[in-house]
Structure 1
Amino acid sequence: MEGDCEFCRIAAGERSAHVLYEDDRTVAFLDENPAMTGHSLVIPRTHEEDVLTIDEPTSTAVFETVRTVSNALEAALEPSGFSVFHTSGPLVGTVDHAHVHLVPRFADDDVALSLPRDRLEADEATRLRNRVRATL
């Protein structure tokens, strides 16, 4: 457990949460400040800072739990769909424990997860593709 990490305390059973699902690698619980009914968080039990840098077995377990919980939420709430996302880095959040948001969506909800969009030009796409491929 990492210092005063509230998600580590939830994973250890030392802090209350409305747990929906748990296994040996993950815990899924209702968000205390939901954007929508059923808004849930899926976390690894171990303290990791970013979903994108955790080891493969843990990453796989996190996303298997996302699938398991989304299926249960689908049956319980009958949403129109889901928004599933994770954020990382100091600019996007206040919790340093890796987590995935699972937000049931409904046709009449007012959840806004939109991003400003621009057109990807072919030459820019080619340059970016080449830079990324060079690092793989």
Structure 2
Amino acid sequence: MSGAGSVSGGAAGSDDACLFCGIASGAPPAHVVLADDVAVAFLDARPVFKGHVLVIPREHVETLVDLPTEAVGPYFERVRAVARAVEDGLGAAGTFVAMNNRISQSVPHLHTHVVPRNRKDGLRGFFWPRVKYADEAEAESYATKIRKALDSTTAE
């Protein structure tokens, strides 16, 4: 796994019209916290809480059911690593990990939300209020903390 802040190489099986396939290939820009041959993880542009990460498979698939069986384990290894990094890097007490399939799926490319959680943070049920980063520098500071935690996790 790579915690690199940039994405390189196109995604085989990518969809030119898909926003997330574009991010996986390096355009449009995103605050990437992990990029390897299996998955790309980046800050959500409309986070529930600051540090909210989306993990996507590099290959374009719309839903979990569409992800090839042999890709499920490696994909969720990345989701697990990001969840740990969000907790460790941001000092979060826990994470909320979720996925929509078609209904409420804003981008039709499989993605898993990893949201930092703390007690009394205001998140109730499935109501997802959204926050904004003050600017690109603040967003990048969150991405850097998560990348550093990922790098220390993969070094173990």
Tell me the TM-score range normalised by the shorter chain: 0.7 to 0.9
- Say which of 8, 11, 34 aligns to 1:21: 34
TM (norm. structure 2) is: 0.68
Runs of 4+ with >3 A deviation: none
Q: Percent identical across equivalent pairs?
A: 39
Aligned length: 114
- Following superposition, the deviation at residue 67 of structure 1 comes to 1.0
Q: Which amino acid aligns with 2:105?
A: G
Quick check: which has more Rg, 1 or 2? Answer: 1
Structure 1 pair 114/9, CA: closer, same or farther in 2 (3 Å)? closer
Structure 1 unaligned runs (5+)?
116-136
C-alpha RMSD of the superposition: 1.5
Structure 1 pair 31/114, CA: closer, same or farther in 2 (3 Å)? closer
Match of 2:18 in 1: 5
1:34 aligns with 2:81: no
| Superposition map of 1:82-93 within 5 A | 82-89=95-102, 91-93=103-105
1:56 aligns with 2:69: yes
Structure 2 unaligned runs (5+)?
1-13, 128-156
Tell me the alpha carbon deviations over residues 10-64 of structure 1, each in whole angstroms, 9 at most, x when there is no partner: 0111221000011101001110000012110000011100023311232222211
Higher relative contact order (CA 8 A, sep 6+): 2
Q: Work out the CA distance in 2 between the residues paired with 1:80 and 1:74.
A: 6
TM (norm. structure 1) is: 0.77
